Chain A
């Protein structure tokens, strides 16, 4: 079954706490992505990973870091979460070839209070 799995689905954290969002895929896709989704802004790219330990900043990387130690797993880390990081976070994967489509996870809804 080809899918992207995100954990947890819902998360509440206090400002200043560390946050770990996890993402896994079972398609052996090389490329994985983290986006955040906010009302009126659509999907904004945070980080992209081209393979294990090969990560690049997206358009809004500030306040985030990522880790990819296995091809099937990509983590998003928020060190000292801020209230403006309240959002819905989506992970996606793709084969990485030109014009390939993405498979998205169901998202993690993060509330920072």
Chain B
């Protein structure tokens, strides 16, 4: 079935570092792709989505570009802050049900 893979389980950075969290997908069709963020003690929150090739989604300084050829939707941020420490999930829908990757825990040191 359709799925997403996040290769990094954990990422540790310092403030103002550049962030990349990798997400690759496997799908028979042309799915929309999502990023969610989960802060400690809370449920996941929708960050943004992209629905077609080369479309860029963005929110709160984070962005990702849908790359159909590479089957990727990597999350990036130019300069992370301590407040960005959270777990980030890539997701794709299959029959209106969202399937999530295993998540990447980002820790940003001051």
Contacts and interface: CB of A to CB of B under 8 A. Distances in A.
B40 to A, nearest CB: 11
Interface size class of A (residues with CB under 8 A): 20 to 34
Contacts of B100: 42-43
B97 A48 contact: yes
Q: Identify the interface centre among A4, A97, A102: most chain B CB within 10 Å of its CB.
A: A102
A104 B45 contact: yes
A43 B89 contact: yes
A48 B49 CA distance: 22
B51 A99 contact: yes
Nearest to A45: B97
B98 interface: yes
Given A41-B102, A42-B103, A99 B49 contact: yes
Interface in A49-81: 58
A85 B89 CA distance: 22
Contacts of B43: 4, 90, 92, 104-107
B58 to A, nearest CB: 15
A102 B38 CA distance: 13
Contacts of B34: 101
A9 B96 CA distance: 27
Interface string A78-105: 0000000000001010101111111111
B46 interface: yes
A105 B41 CA distance: 11
Interface of A: 4, 31, 33, 40-43, 45, 48, 58, 90, 92, 94, 96-107
23 contacts: A31-B96, A33-B97, A40-B9, A42-B100, A42-B102, A43-B44, A43-B89, A45-B97, A45-B99, A48-B97, A90-B43, A96-B96, A97-B96, A98-B93, A98-B96, A99-B32, A99-B51, A101-B49, A102-B46, A106-B41, A106-B42, A106-B43, A107-B43
